[in-house]
Structures are given as C-alpha cells and as structure tokens.
Amino acid sequence: MTITKMIKKAHVLISLVFYMCFATQAFPVDLVPPKESVVIIYIDDRTGRTVTTASGFIIDRDGIIATTHTVLSKWLAASGGTLFVKSVNNALFQIDDIISVDKTHNIALFRINAQNLTAVSFSPEYRPVMNDEITVIGSPSGADILISSGTLHVDKDNVLLQVRPGLSPGNSGSPVFNKKNYVVGIVHMLFDDTGTRYGVIPVSYASRLFDKYKNKKNKMAPPIQKRESDEPLPASPETMEGLLHAQSKVRKDPNSAEALSHLAWSYIHAGMHEEAADAYEQIINMEPYNVDSYNNLGVVYGKYLGMPEKSVPLFKKALTIKPDADIYSNLGNAYLDLGMYREALEEYKRAIQARPYYARAHFGLGISFLRLNDQGAALKEYEMLKKLNPALADELSVYLSAPAVPLQPK
C-alpha cells in the first residue's frame, strides 16, 4: 500500500486542506481569536538541546493541552528528553501527564500543572464549507505565536491539496478558528510522493477524547479519608482487576520483564509496595542492566517504603548505566530525605544541567539551598519556578516565608 493510499484511508471521514490566502491587513479586534489559549511546544533531548517545536492549545482551564499525536510521539522517541510548553506571556510548564491519545485521527491530550488558564471554545458539530474563512494561530518557528488568515478548500475526491506558503512544521497542533472564534480543527502535516501538505483534523475527535476523560474523571470515587487504624485501605475494584490481569500475564510468561514491570506498577496502584519492590528485584535479576527497574525500585524504597538509604545505591547504579535527569533528581530527593543537603544540591544541579527547564529539580535545589541557609540562592530558584511551574513556585514560597528550619546538614 502506498503512503498516499494509507493517508486517504486514515482520513476517509473528513480531511481538509488549507488553501491559504494570507491577509496582510489587521484583523478587526472583535474577530481576533484568543492568543492566550495557544501554546508553543518545545521538545528537548537529554542534553537540553531543542530538537523540534510545535503548537498546541488549551482546551480546559486546568491545564489540558491538545496537539497532534505526532508531536507527542516525537517527545516519547527522544530518549531522556523533555516536553514543555510556553504560553503567550512566556510562562513555562513541563508536561505533567498524558491524558489520552487517538493515533487513528492523530490527536493527543496532555496536562500541565497550571490552573485558571484561558481555554478555547469548541464547535464540534461544525461542517466544513468550501472557502470558509478561518484563522490559524500557532508558532511556525518556535519563536513567536502568529496569527494567519485564510480560507478552507474542501475537495470531496482528493484529500491531498497543495497549500500556499505560510505554514511550517511548527504549526502542527495549531488550532483552526472559524469566524465566530470557535475551534473547528487542528493543523497537521500530511506526506505523499509530492511532498508535505497541511491538513485539518476535525476538532470533534479532540472533543470526544476530552469528553471521555471528563466522564472517567467524574466516575472516579472521591478520596477516601484517612482512617484512625493502621490497616491498609482496600484497593478499588478497578485496581484489583488490573492487578489480577497483570498477575495472569506473569503466570503465562514468568520470565517476561515487561509483564513483571506491569505487575510492579499494579502493585503500586494497589498500595502493595513491598510486592512491587520484589517484582522489580526479579527484573533486575533477569536483566542486570535494566535502568528503569533500578530507578523504579529506588522510588519504591524512598517514596513508598520510607527507606531512602536503600534508594541511593539503586539510583547510583542506574546512573552508571544511563545518566538521566530524572534519576539525578530522584537521587537528590533521597539525599534530601537523608539530610545530606550538599549531596542533594549537587544531584539537582546535575539534573538541571541535563534538563535546564526541569521544574522539579529546580524545586529540590531551592529546598536544598534553604536547608543550607542560602536564602538568596533559594530565591533565585523561586523566580525560575514562577516561569516554569507556578504551582511549585507557590509551594517553595511557603518554605521561603517560614522561619529558618533548625536542621544541620549531615
């Protein structure tokens, strides 16, 4: 099957292509869509070098971003890399979680740690009409968010049309607005034998993904209040179902590191942390150079079992296999829990050297400076966090405003 046929098949329902006639005159103020709802996406490799840029837009004020699945795939392919977004006011946020993806229609939703953002309005029932006036907002080069005007060209027989100059790979994930300032689509890149073209993914697919996420979130049980007794809280039926499924996979293939890894995660979600540690130990015995298992086992010991002293050698071993910003930061956390503040400081610095915009590492560095009574250096980390992650900046500000903690570094 040729690439052209594959693309046609994947977009058989609706596939639109811009036939852009870019205007040089300014838009009337009341017709300009909100730039505040559009973000620039940066993907850095493990050295901190930006390898690609793209665009996205805010679909929920609590930090849900929509873009193309292609963009997210580039981040996942960048081993040890990071994805962060920059808003129109230059605030920086690192990706917090992947919400949902639709590979078939090239849609992805992810979350950043931010609230009270300016979200777009959808028009999921929109049906494209030839020569509809539209507006595209995105960042062609990763430098600035730009507004372009044009028209839609809809061809019922051929979904691959030539696009006039004006769009670039950085526009992938840009929202497409109609004249009423509703988002009707998402820009994506199409490829065939003649070159690169830019099409529109109907926003209805993103709207459905978001609706599924909201429905699932609303169905989740409310947080269970901590009980007076020390008995472990029972796992939810969904968690236990996942655990039983993971156990079944291990029984079928007890020598599968992948199956054991899924089992370990299921144990963590069920609150069975010692069992999770045992599963990671089994993986390490089978695969002595499995860096993720050393790192995850260190997290289990430090975060869940309260034994940071057992985490340190595991993180160090992981770093000898593959230096990584996350592992440096985890080692810094372990040292911080042990009261070894100077050692923590150095590990957080290494994490930031590998990933300059790593908010969690900047937060840990700020705490380390405070523990070492360097208020000025901690304040600099606070200023950086205001751009990277305002929520973490607020958390660090609590420590900054508190009386000096009478702890001495070990």
CATH of the domain at 279: 1.25.40.10
User: Is residue 353 one of the residues assigned to a domain?
Assistant: yes
**Residue 401 amino acid letter:** S
Instruction: Please give the average per-residue pLDDT across 38-62, as a whole number.
Output: 88
CA atoms within 13 A on the CB side of 407: 17
Mark whether 12 and 154 lie in a shared domain: yes
Query: For residues 128 and 68, what is the distance between their CA atoms, to the nearest angstrom?
Result: 20
User: Is residue 222 one of the residues assigned to a domain?
Assistant: no
Mark whether 241 and 153 lie in a shared domain: no
In contact, 192 and 3? CB cutoff 8 Å: yes
In contact, 351 and 328? CB cutoff 8 Å: yes
Mark whether 296 and 390 lie in a shared domain: yes
Mark whether 297 and 194 lie in a shared domain: no
Total of domains in the chain: 2
The predicted structure's pLDDT at residue 219: 44
Query: For residues 116 and 277, what is the distance between their CA atoms, to the nearest angstrom?
Result: 39
The predicted structure's pLDDT at residue 217: 59
User: Is residue 211 one of the residues assigned to a domain?
Assistant: no
The predicted structure's pLDDT at residue 12: 36
Give residue 234's pLDDT band: very low, low, confident or very high (50, 70, 90): very low
pLDDT above 50 (res 223): no
CATH code of residue 23? 2.40.10.120
User: Is residue 372 one of the residues assigned to a domain?
Assistant: yes
The boundaries of the domain holding residue 201 are 3-206
Instruction: Please give the average per-residue pLDDT across 312-333, as a whole number.
Output: 94
pLDDT above 50 (res 15): no
Mark whether 164 and 244 lie in a shared domain: no
User: Is residue 349 one of the residues assigned to a domain?
Assistant: yes
Structure tokens at 385: 């966090």
pLDDT above 50 (res 16): no
Bigger pLDDT: 229 vs 384 = 384
Give residue 14's pLDDT band: very low, low, confident or very high (50, 70, 90): very low
pLDDT above 50 (res 233): no
Percent of the chain with pLDDT over 90: 32
Q: Mean pLDDT: which of 22-31, 55-64, 69-78, 238-247 is highest?
A: 55-64
Give residue 317's pLDDT band: very low, low, confident or very high (50, 70, 90): very high
pLDDT above 70 (res 292): yes
User: Is residue 216 one of the residues assigned to a domain?
Assistant: no
> For all residues of the chain together, what is the average pLDDT?
78
Mark whether 17 and 149 lie in a shared domain: yes
Q: Mean pLDDT: which of 8-12, 53-57, 191-195, 234-238 is highest?
A: 53-57
Query: Exposure of 216 by Cβ count < 10 A (0-12 exposed, 13-18 middle, 19+ buried)?
Result: exposed
Mark whether 117 and 244 lie in a shared domain: no
Task: List pLDDT tens digits, range 71-91.
Answer: 888 887 765 678 889 998 888
User: Is residue 219 one of the residues assigned to a domain?
Assistant: no
Query: For residues 45 and 77, what is the distance between their CA atoms, to the nearest angstrom?
Result: 10
Task: List pLDDT tens digits, range 261-278.
Answer: 888 888 888 788 899 999
Instruction: Please give the average per-residue pLDDT across 378-404, as a whole number.
Output: 84
SS3 for the chain is: CCHHHHHHHHCCCCCEEEECCCCCCCCCHHHCCCHHHEEEEEEECCCCCEEEEEEEEEEECCCEEEECHHHHHHHHHCCCCEEEEECCCCCEEEEEEEEEEECCCCEEEEEECCCCCCCCCECCCCCCCCCCEEEEEECCCCCCCEEEEEEEECCCCCCCCCCCECECHHHCCCEEECCCCCEEEEEEEEEECCEEEEEEEEHHHHHHHHHHHHHHHHHCCCCCCCCCCCCCCCCCHHHHHHHHHHHHHHHHCCCCHHHHHHHHHHHHHCCCHHHHHHHHHHHHHHCCCCHHHHHHHHHHHHHHCCCHHHHHHHHHHHHHHCCCHHHHHHHHHHHHHCCCHHHHHHHHHHHHHHCCCCHHHHHHHHHHHHHCCCHHHHHHHHHHHHHHCHHHHHHHHHHHHCCCCCCCCC
The predicted structure's pLDDT at residue 357: 83
The predicted structure's pLDDT at residue 11: 41
Mark whether 32 and 164 lie in a shared domain: yes
pLDDT above 90 (res 344): yes
Bigger pLDDT: 400 vs 317 = 317
- Last residue of some domain: 206, 228, 261? 206
Mark whether 201 and 55 lie in a shared domain: yes
User: Is residue 226 one of the residues assigned to a domain?
Assistant: no
Mark whether 192 and 260 lie in a shared domain: no
- β-partners of residue 177 are 135, 183
pLDDT above 70 (res 111): yes
Mark whether 196 and 279 lie in a shared domain: no
The predicted structure's pLDDT at residue 55: 95
pLDDT above 80 (res 196): no
